[in-house]
Chains A and B, each alone.
Chain A
Amino acid sequence: MTAIHSANTVSLSRRSFLRVSTNAAAGLLVSLYLDFPLFAQEGAKPPAKVYPPDAFVHIKPDGKILITVNRLEFGQGVQTSLPMVLADELDADWSQVIADLAPAADVYKDPVFGIQMVGGSGSIAHSFQQYRELGARVRAMLVAAAADQWKVAPDQCHTEASVVHGPGGKSATYAQLAEAAAKQPVPAKVQLKDPSQFRFIGKKVRRLDSRPKCDGSQKFGLDLDLPGMKIAVVAHPPVFGARIKSVDDKSARELPGVDVFEIQLVKGTGVAVVADKFWTAKQARDRLKIDWDLASVDHADSSRLLTQYKDLARTTGNIATSRGDQKALDAIPDANRIVAEYEFPYLAHTPMEPLNTTIRFDGDRAEAWVPSQFQTMDQIAIAQVLGLKPDQVTFHTEYAGGGFGRRAVIDSHVQREAAAIAKRLRGTPVKLVWTREDDVQGGYYRPMFVHRVEIGIGQDGMPVAWRHVIVGQSLVAGTPFAPMMIKNGVDATAVEGAADAPYSIANFQVTAHHPTPNVPVLWWRSVGHTHTAFVMETLMDELAARANADPIAYRRKLLKPDAAKARRALDLMDEKSASWRNSLPKGHAFGVACHECFGTAVACAADVSIEDQRPRIHRVTVAVDPGLAVNPLTIEAQFQAGVAFGLTQLVPRGAITLKDGRVEQRNFDGYAPPYIADSPVAVDVHIVPSTEAPTGCGEPPVPVISPAVVNALAKLTGKHYRTLPLVAL
């Protein structure tokens, strides 16, 4: 755990340096180049670098300070919180701060992951220090410029609200100093603020992007309009990976300006339909008569998979974790055992903005506009399809209408499709649009999982033996991520949250099987924790109930001594929810859950009753320990909304199912995420005060809510709910 030390001094490492360029008209531009090649080995030779003229800070002559965010903004609020961090160390006037999203470039790669991306709740966790140092360095250069002008020592100056103040009442604005500051050497060492000096960090700061998102002026990727732009849709195979035998496009071509051609997909082939307008392209696609070769691909089927997975779950898989004596369980009589089998369906992400990518290919260059969580990978993929080098593809990061992992796809299949179409349309920009049906039926789901857990309970009512088998597809097998994320045949993303559960259980084993049905799978907000937290936290309640113990006290007793964050979250939740938990109306029950993921611990309590055979969630109290809370307002909003996202697992139509290779749902009629009435009426969020390094808050809201609600339902009905979604209570 890294504490935020007061008066922190940092120096530029061997691998990082600043490059400053000056432009009198444009003001000060500063770029920090960090070189952490993807999964670098210490001592490995860093790859050749390209230094684009992009910048993190741009002090404009009118005093506006443009801060470039090295992330995708897709709801999580990073377009406000990273500028807060930089502006704080810079002592900027917040009212003059504006922010923009960085294009793809080496300089904007995640300092830890080594690629430009959003994922793993890493935006603040990985770039907090980076943005602090950037702000502090720019501030030092502005102070140095002022000190030079006034012929005083820099330490005789201080800064506030974009102004440097010197002795004798001298002052100059950052805008006035920008040009001279750009000529100053970049300081190798820079003093960071003591947390007590923070002006913005730790304060509730409203989002910078609210107004344009409330008046319709915010442009998302799908809103892009370029002169002469065409719209493309693609007919995808009805069974994953199938190829076309023949296409009858006569009727489609009768529509004005329609072109139809076959394209290679990542797996299988598809038919691209290009027109001037979306509606024409979609109508034309509906008119295609395609004969698919369905015989040569595997037809996945949910019910058959379930049988297969359940059989596998009765056998020991590859070992994710094993401690103590695995035979201890066998010595425990059946009466003191719980055997629980859980079923989780495939889940689609369905971000509100359907997937899209716009590309113009000019032969020796290309330009791409992509709402992307995976800029580095998507840029490489587009370049590959077009026969270019990645730096020949100018890559704009477009604002995205949600993502939840769906815009971070290792094979960049949407971008590859768009590039294949753009290649054919050379010189003409083309926007590929995935319809909602393409999205719901197009794969890349949270995998289906089966868990089987056998627990042996000791005389004191606490678990002494735990044997846990997890069955589900690997997210990364066969990809460049496999060497890092698959160990001993176990994909870490399938067992996280179970294998590393914070509970003290002497004899504990988690193993995993990874079958390989023909269904593309992908990380879905909070990844493995979506299912592991549900299993762990419903079983905790079941154990507590058998022991006639309070579910919070039971967890507190079982938490490992070093689970400090989880304990703090649990204690705070207990304190903040005690009064309403102790005065619930008749017909209501509360359920709790506690889980730590991505370095952030969360505990929640839900007040639930049953209305019209569905859970009615009257209130949720959430306590979170995210280390230092950079923007408590964003964290509150993330948790309030993230618990609603988490309920995707419980709503009755929250499942993707396959029958004989075909996805049975098409749109939001068959696959229906939570609407307002499915979601908590009120959510109060409480943050554990902390000076520890900040951890992420994008994913941690998701795992806790479903087990908390189900634990409440179990009290109301006396049933165990181990099959999701909750079709009937």
Chain B
Amino acid sequence: METYKLTVNGQTKQVTADPGTPLLWVLREELKMTGTKYGCGISACGACTVHLGGMATRSCVVPVSLVGNRPIVTIEAMAADPVGRVVQDAWVTQDVVQCGYCQSGQIMSAVALLKYNRKPTDKDIEESMGGNLCRCGTYVRIREAIKVASQQLK
């Protein structure tokens, strides 16, 4: 067991965990932040997506020991993020969610996309969202919501 100082949503958190523990489980079980979801554990579904050092990252395959001083941003911070809030609102107005389990990860990937590319094409969307699985299959409305958010962000 080791002790780590993490910057999560702008706050410093101290956790004690085995160095190999994935960031996902540190967030969910040590910090009780369950908005970030477990879907596969092998970086194949995107449900666990967070922003690590500003990059959309699958937290299920990042050992806590490798996080270092990179800031961690999770779905819980999106309502206070200017792009995050617009994306969340677009998700609500477009009635995107169904079961909703993957949507934290979808929104984190969409926000990362829109932070760097305010006018994504369909192909851009498919590339950035390509690893986020939605078993309900809400992809059509995800596309629409990203375009609505893109319009609003200008």
Contacts and interface: CB of A to CB of B under 8 A. Distances in A.
A210 to B, nearest CB: 4
A216 B97 contact: no
Interface in B52-105: 74-76, 78-79, 88, 91-93, 95-104
B129 to A, nearest CB: 5
A215 B139 contact: no
A219 B74 CA distance: 16
Interface residues of A, number: 63
B35 A215 contact: yes
Contacts of A220: 37, 101
Interface residues of B, number: 60
A75 B29 contact: no
A130 to B, nearest CB: 24
Given A436-B39, A667-B42, A668-B40, A223 B34 contact: yes
A641 B40 contact: no
Contacts of B22: 279
Contacts of A215: 35, 75-76, 78-79, 88
Interface in B95-126: 95-104, 107, 122, 125-126
Contact of B102 (A74, A209, A352, A637): A352
A676 B101 contact: no
Given A351-B99, A676-B130, A279 B37 contact: no
A219, A401, A680: residue with the most chain B Cβ atoms closer than 10 Å = A401
A675 B103 contact: no
B32 interface: yes
Given A279-B22, A667-B41, A207 B97 contact: yes
Interface string A663-679: 00001110011111101
Contacts of B103: 213-214
B137 A214 contact: no
Interface string B22-44: 10010011001111111111101
A213 to B, nearest CB: 3
B92 A206 contact: yes
A644 interface: yes
A217 interface: yes
Contact of A216 (B35, B40, B42, B92): B35
Contacts of A74: 99
Contacts of A675: 130-133, 139
Interface of A: 74-77, 206-207, 209-220, 222-223, 225, 277-280, 283, 350-354, 399-404, 435-436, 633, 637-638, 640-645, 647, 667-669, 672-677, 679-683
Given A668-B133, A669-B44, 8 more contacts: A278-B28, A279-B25, A280-B18, A352-B47, A435-B41, A640-B141, A641-B141, A644-B138
26 contacts: A76-B98, A77-B98, A213-B100, A214-B88, A216-B78, A217-B76, A222-B38, A279-B17, A350-B135, A352-B39, A352-B101, A352-B135, A399-B100, A401-B99, A640-B140, A644-B134, A645-B135, A645-B136, A668-B133, A669-B44, A673-B133, A675-B133, A676-B142, A677-B130, A680-B140, A683-B140
